[in-house]
Amino acid sequence: MELWPAESIWEAVSPLLPGFTVEVLPEIDSSNTELMRRARAGQTEPTLLVAERQTAGRGRLGRPWQSAVGDSLTFSLSLPYAPRDWSGLSLAVGLSVAESLHPGIGLKWPNDLWVADCKLGGILIEAATAGGRSQVVVGIGINIRPRSAEGLSTPPAALTELWPQATAGQALLRLMPPLVRTLQDFEQRGFAPLQPRFEARDVLRGREVHTGDGLRGQALGVGPTGALRLLQADGERLIDSSEVSVRPTPQ
Ligand code: BTN
């Protein structure tokens, strides 16, 4: 069983987030679902919920998120949140996680962590409103050790390929304080100041890509709100991240 550095995480994060708590649950349907239920019920204290096992883990676009117990890190962070503009938030979160964990981690717009065209992890951001105040739930799943590729549309990568001694607990301890700082900066300043750093890790930039809804073109990077810049025969188009999947087109 994983030994979680819950105390160390709490010590590093609570000065940034007063009232912060850390919870580790052996099993839950989904850490995002649980924190969304709590937020809707008016429980809005900043909470990190680590799930050792998820029985109904969720990804973007209604997809399931499967993870093997002990081989992955699955957690969600909930906090009261009121940015002026939410656009680009999943890019900011991905950037923060990638920068905290390893220089070799790339970002696949809008919310995947990639290593050499394989998927290391994903991000699911949801928002709830309770009593007129908004709450964000940031859910992150990262493969720590190699996993089976069965049933996956993109082959999986594992953090131990880059950081051989990595454990889920050490990865969480490393990424949490910068993640909270990133969320707080984003709330004040939005995505634009992060655009150059995102572009440095953008794995789609310059490549031919296609979207789940049939668009094709060359990815030119991201704009100041985090929208994907797609070059097509008739010019450039901006694609918003909300309901789209994008993949490199095999050459
Ligand atoms: C994606 O790649 O589509 C996003 C995957 C997000 C998975 C994480 S695991 C922790 C949290 N709980 C969930 O049910 N989903 C997120």
Rounded CA-CA distance 133/130 in Å is 5
Q: Rounded CA gap, 232 and 35, in Å? A: 40
Residue 1 has a pLDDT of 58
Tokens of 124: 């699911």
8 A C-beta contact, residue 159 and residue 174: no
Indicate the pTM of the whole model: 0.95
Angle at 146 between CA 142 and CA 150, to 5 degrees: 95
Q: For 209-220, what is each residue's pLDDT tens digit?
A: 999 888 999 999
* Model pLDDT for residues 26-73, shown as the tens digit of each residue: 999 999 999 999 999 999 999 999 999 999 999 998 899 988 888 999
Strand-pairing partners, residue 25, are 51
Strand-pair category, 21-25 with 47-51: parallel
Atom index in ligand 1 nearest the CA of residue 58 equals 14
- CA–centroid distance for 44 within its chain: 20
Band (pLDDT 50/70/90 cuts) for residue 245 is confident
* pLDDT tens track for 114-170: 999 999 999 999 999 988 899 999 999 999 999 888 888 889 999 999 999 999 999
d(CA 87, CA 190): 8
Mutate to test the pocket of ligand 1, among 61, 91, 97, 124 (most ligand atoms within 8 A of CB): 124
Cα 231 to middle of ligand 1, angstroms = 30
* Residue 226: pLDDT band with limits 50, 70, 90: very high
Whole-number Å distance, alpha carbon 139 to ligand 1 midpoint, is 5
pLDDT tens, 111-120? 999 999 999 9
Nearest residue CA, atom 16 of ligand 1?
A: 139
Give distance in angstroms: CA of 76 to centre of ligand 1: 8
- CA of residue 50 to ligand 1 center, whole Å: 12
**Ligand 1 atom with minimal separation from the 32 CA:** 12
CA distance 2 to 26: 10
Mean pLDDT, range 86-93, rounded to an integer: 96
Cβ 94 under 6 angstroms from ligand 1: no
Instruction: Locate the ligand 1 atom nearest the alpha carbon of residue 111 and give its number.
Output: 2
